[in-house]
Amino acid sequence: MIATKGYAAQNSTDPLAPYNFQRRELRANDVQIEIQYCGVCHSDLHTVRDEWGGTIYPVVPGHEIVGRVTRVGADVKKFKQGQTVGVGCLVGSCMECNNCREGLEQYCDIGWIGTYNGLEEGSSLPTYGGYSNLIIVDEHFVLNIPDKLPIEGVAPLLCAGITTYSPLRHWNVGNGHKVGVIGLGGLGHMAVKFAAAFGAEVTMLSTSLEKEKDAKRLGAHHFALTKDPTTLSKLKNHFDFILDTVSAPHDYDLYLGLLKTNGAMICVGVPPGTTEIDGWNLLANRRSLSGSLIGGLPETQEMLDYCAEHNIVSDVEMIDMASINTAYERMLKGDVKYRFVIDMSTL
């Protein structure tokens, strides 16, 4: 076992504190990475506070990881020492089911291993995430980070980026499509950038007029204040796709009615509990309510390469490790444009 240092939640009430913990030994297919930057995702906060249940304390969060390769196992083929690489939400899956074979590891039939709060393959050791000085990951789950991008802006691509890129690609969103994006946060701001880059006509759907200027700066062509009934009635049967990035409870029916015939509303966030829908909103116009979960490894690499080619990164605010609790509080208020990224040299 390798002793490493991380910023861990001891339990749901204790203050976060630096913590020494054990990583697995380097295996033949493993890559050891010195972590340079880690994005701060809402999932980190949910897990730290055990809001989804099942948190194994102490937990080291973080699944938007970029860093440098410091060691490679004997059988590693894709990576070498010194290379800049990334790790996203997954560090393991069965590799044998149809989904894994198709590069859809996020839909692994057996269940994938999360970058944190999972269990290391063949071990009772928990997986620890990116609020740490190093991580050891099977090379299949490691991504090449193209040289030309500022790597602190790349970190959030590994969750917020791929989570929005994947459904837009799966549903072939592009020229001629009208796309609505619900919510302008970490996910939403990437959804706007990608949908605009793919050639769609993008409308930011928001409850706050303050978001208009920034939404347009990020690439949105239109802004719609969703609490204004007149605005909404004008958008009835309007969109080919709506990407719903909101995890707080909200009214699905309000948005389903904005889809044109064969339109799909694709959820990438999940409100707690259940959400009510009126089936007539699906039958009318043959609409779909769909979901999409992060992305598989091949598609994540494709996204990183696409971002390098089109100069797309996340808008980030850098923080040091000691500011994480303040950052969580600000995230809860939506006070971040649009992703906190921890500089791991401050750990």
Contact residues: a second copy, CB under 8 A: 98-99, 104, 107, 109, 167, 170, 237, 253, 261, 264, 267-271, 273-293
What residues are paired with 126 via a beta bridge? 119
Our CA angle for 174, 102, 265, nearest 5°, is 35
Own/partner contacts of 256-259, CB < 8 Å, gap of 24 or more, are 256/281, 256/282, 256/287, 256/289, 257/232, 257/281, 258/180, 258/205, 258/232, 259/285, 259/287
In the complex, the smallest distance separating the C-beta of residue 253 from a second copy, rounded to whole angstroms, is 8
Tokens of 52: 């989804």
In the complex, the smallest distance separating the C-beta of residue 300 from a second copy, rounded to whole angstroms, is 15
CA–CA gap between residue 298 and residue 293 (Å, rounded)? 14
In the complex, the smallest distance separating the C-beta of residue 267 from a second copy, rounded to whole angstroms, is 5
Side chain identity at 291, as an amino acid letter? G
For a second copy, give the closer residue by CB, 133 or 275.
275
In the complex, the smallest distance separating the C-beta of residue 282 from a second copy, rounded to whole angstroms, is 3
In the complex, the smallest distance separating the C-beta of residue 287 from a second copy, rounded to whole angstroms, is 6
In this structure, the chain runs to a length of 347
| Residues ≥6 apart with Cβ < 8 Å to 232 | 224, 226, 254, 257, 258
For a second copy, give the closer residue by CB, 153 or 257.
257
For a second copy, give the closer residue by CB, 109 or 320.
109
For a second copy, give the closer residue by CB, 243 or 313.
243
For a second copy, give the closer residue by CB, 161 or 167.
167
